[in-house]
Amino acid sequence: MEEPLPRERKFIMFESFLYELLTNCSICGQAFGNLNFSFMGTLVVVEGMCEQLQKLRWRSQPLVRGSEAGAGNFLLAAGMLTRAALWLQPSDALVLKSSWSAPATTTTGPTCSLQ
């Protein structure tokens, strides 16, 4: 049975060690010519092709359903918000709520509201 994402263990990894892990193709054992790394927040995507033309596409974490965003981005943000909420007094949370609400006269542009 698969572990729910918030409970699954997570690790920090150095790029050089990731490169070492993905140096050779897991199918034929041949070396990858060039590995292309791309990043979006906590998500790392590695793509490459070995000498036998086997393709590699590796992601460091699952994607949020219906998007190209890594689940780790949301879990990290949620964790930070929950930890901050534990430190706040209820009155502090109300001050934050009022400072994040858009003014009544705002009619255009993005707003952030906790209502």
pLDDT at position 103? 47
Contacts of 112 (CB under 8 A, 6+ apart): 100, 102
Give percent of the chain above pLDDT 70.
Answer: 69
pLDDT at position 31? 92
pLDDT at position 105? 42
State which residues of the chain have pLDDT below 50. 1, 101-115
pLDDT at position 37? 93
pLDDT at position 4? 76
> How far from the centroid of its chain's Cα atoms is residue 4's Cα?
16
pLDDT at position 87? 66
The helix/strand/coil state of 40 is: strand
